[in-house]
Each structure stands twice: as structure tokens, then as C-alpha cells.
Amino acid sequence: MDILEEIVAHKRLEVERFKQELSEREIHRRVESLLDFSVASMSKALTSSSTGIIAEFKRRSPSKGWIKEEGQADIIPLSYQQNGASALSILADEKYFGGSDEFISIARRSGVHIPVLYKNFVIDEYQLFQARLCGASAVLLIAADLTLSECRSLLHTAHDLGLEVLLEMHSKEELEYADLEPDMCGINNRNLGSFVTDVENSFRMAELLPKEAVKVSESGISNPDTVRALRAAGFRGFLIGETFMKTPDPGKALTDFIREIEL
């Protein structure tokens, strides 16, 4: 198995365990009480921003191990918000990324009010309810681990729950997923099978996406010049995690990065 296949196989087992701990009926009941309250729109936040930075709270990665094991969800996400992030991405996968649904809840309680992306490998409707319950604004759906039919169904359910969808594609072969008209079209510069990263992937794919799509470039972005070039190519969102998380003060690193973009 490649890394993505391994993660998805484990995720299926994990979701079944979650269902045993909190039944589908019960999580549906809990989420139903939240549906009268809307969440902040991530797509609008990106299109109205001059920078479009989606700052990611990412403590670990499968390829690099721990990036910031001591990173706290009540400090770094709020610091990102205070230092100019347009939106946040918070990892919810525990085994491979050191994340947790609870990190989103903690970030919200700390004062985070900007849009938050539920960053996980979503393969089951149950996870959409988990995302809404913990306080996410949007969810990531990954074309590489979903059939077109599965993706369509999950996108529909996400919208029913008041969540936006960032639909991630990597290759030309996955472009048909953009026809599902997600709220945001993401291009992952990292191959999820090999974890090799190439930012040029976003430039190659940009012109192939629908012109009206809210385009988001993900992974491997470490230079403000790259963000400026991607904006010129039509991107409005830039998901950046390791560049900030590997520094002593991720919030300050974000401030410095934004300052360079705006020069």
C-alpha cells in the first residue's frame, strides 16, 4: 500500500470505533441542535482577503514525523487569527498527523471566530457530523480517496449541515470532480501516495479548473513570491502549515510572511 491507502484503511477502522463510542443516532441529535446557527464562510473569507492565507495547525506529518509535538490548540490557532490569517486549517487525524477533533473545539473556546477547515480523510458521512459538532466551518474532501458518487453524496450532506467543501484534486484525471461545483477547488501540490511535493502542480492545473471556482493551492508553499505568482494565476487561497509550524512562533512567522507578500 502507498501512504494514502494505508491512512484510508486505518480511517475506516477508526470511524467504526467512533460509531461504537457515540452512535450515529446520538451524533445526529447533537448536531441537529446546532443547525439553526450558521458558520463563517471560508470561500467568502478567501475571496475578500488580500492574502488568502489558510494557516494550518499541523503538529505532525507521516513523512517528517513530529513538527511541533508541543503545539497547543488554545495558543497557535488564535495567534494565527491575531496575525492576519484569512482562515485556519486544523488537523483532525490523530495517528498520522497528531491531530484531534478536540483541537477545533479548543481553538473555538480560545476565541477563534474565523473559518476553520476540518482537515481529515473524510470517507464516511459520520465524519461530517463530527466536523459540525466540533465547530468547523468547512470540510476537506479528497478526490483521490473517494469515488465520484461518494464525493457527490458527501458534498450534498456537508451542505445540508451548513458546511462548505474544499474539494482537493491533484491530477488532470481528477478534474471531473470539479463538476460537482464545490465551494472551493483545492489543488494539492503533494502527491498523497508518495508525499513528493511540487508547487508547479498548481500552475499546471490552474487553467484547467472552472474560471469561477474559488481556487486553493495546498502544500509546499514556503515563499511569499510563490503566493504572489499563484494569485496571478487565479488562486485565492493558500494553505500553509509546515512553513509556520516549524518555527518557534508560528503566529509571528505568519505576520512576517504576510508582510513579505504585501511588499
Which residues partner with 188 through β-bridges? Answer: 218
Q: What residues contact 143, with CB distance under 8 A and at least 6 apart?
A: 151, 167, 168, 169, 170, 174, 177
Q: Which residues are catalytic?
A: 56, 58, 119, 168, 188, 218-219
Q: What's the pLDDT tens digit per position in 107-126? A: 999 999 999 999 999 999 99
Q: Residue 51 in contact with residue 262, Cβ under 8 Å?
A: yes
What angle do the packed helices 125-134 and 3-21 form, to 10 degrees? 70
**Cell match 477533533: residue?**
101
Rounded to two decimals, the pTM is 0.95
Query: How far, in whole angstroms, is CA 51 from its chain's centroid?
Result: 17
> What was the pLDDT predicted at 64?
86
> What was the pLDDT predicted at 198?
82
- Which grid coordinates are listed for 187? 489543488
- Which grid coordinates are listed for 263? 511588499
Range of the domain at 93: 3-261
Determine the Cα–Cα distance for residues 89 and 54; give it in Å rounded to an integer: 6
Cα 70 to Cα 77, 98, 144, 245: the distances in Å are: 14, 10, 31, 11
> What was the pLDDT predicted at 148?
97
Helix (H) or strand (E) holding 184, with range, is strand 184-188
- Which grid coordinates are listed for 8? 484510508
Q: What's the pLDDT tens digit per position in 38-77? A: 999 999 999 999 999 999 999 999 888 999 999 999 999 9
Determine the Cα–Cα distance for residues 233 and 142; give it in Å rounded to an integer: 22
> What was the pLDDT predicted at 63?
83
* Residues above pLDDT 90, as percent of the chain: 90
| Domain harbouring 93, CATH code | 3.20.20.70
Helix, strand or coil, per DSSP, at residue 256: helix
DSSP output for 158-177 = HHHTT-EEEEEE-SGGGGGG
Query: What is the count of structural domains for the chain?
Result: 1
Check whether 85 has a pLDDT greater than 70: yes
Check whether 230 has a pLDDT greater than 70: yes
